[in-house]
Amino acid sequence: MAIMSKKFDESVLFILQGLVQEVETLNERPSDVTTCVLSEIHQELDRMLITLSKSKAFKPPTPLQVKEYAASIGKHIMGNEFCDFYESKGWVVGKSKMKSWKASVRNWCKNDKPLSIPTETPEERFRRLDQY
C-alpha cells in the first residue's frame, strides 16, 4: 500500500506524521497488518520528505533581488558585485553550497568595510614618504 505519490506540502506531511504517531500510540499491541501498514506509511513519508527537500534546492538571486533585500534591511550594496563574487565561486561558502543567499547578504553587509578617503593631499603624502 502506498500513499499517493504526489508532492505534498509540509503542512500535509506534518498532519500525516501526527496521524501515524496517534495510530502508533493507540495500538499498544499492533497486529501484523497494522505493523506492515505503518511501516509502508513510514517509508512513503520518508520518500515524500526527500522529494520536498530536493524541491527546495538553492536558486541564485538576481542582482536586483540582492539590492532590494539589502535595502529592505537598511543596507546598500551593489547587487552585481555580490552576484559576480559568488557566481565566480560556484555559490559556495567555505566548502559548502550556499543555502541562504539572504544570510550571505547580511554577512556581506556586516563584513563590508567603508572606503577610506585620504585626508592628506598628494603633496603632504609625498613629503611624508620622502622622509624615509
pLDDT digits (tens, 9 = 90+) for 82-109: 999 999 999 999 998 898 899 999 999 8
Task: Specify the number of domains making up the chain.
Answer: 2
The number of angstroms, rounded, from the C-alpha of 118 to the middle of its chain's C-alpha atoms is: 39
> pLDDT-derived band of residue 1, with 50, 70 and 90 as boundaries?
very low
Q: Domain range for residue 26?
A: 10-55
- On whether residue 31 sits in a domain, the answer given is yes
Asked if 105 and 82 touch (Cβ cutoff 8 Å), the reply is: yes
One domain for residues 39 and 69 = no
pLDDT at site 58: 81
pLDDT at site 116: 61
- On whether residue 87 sits in a domain, the answer given is yes
- On whether residue 131 sits in a domain, the answer given is no
One domain for residues 38 and 67 = no
pLDDT higher than 80, residue 70: yes
For 86-128, the DSSP string reads: HHHTTSEETTEE-S-HHHHHHHHHHHPPPPPPP-S-HHHHHHH
Q: What is the pTM of this model?
A: 0.48
Q: Percentage of the chain with pLDDT > 70?
A: 62
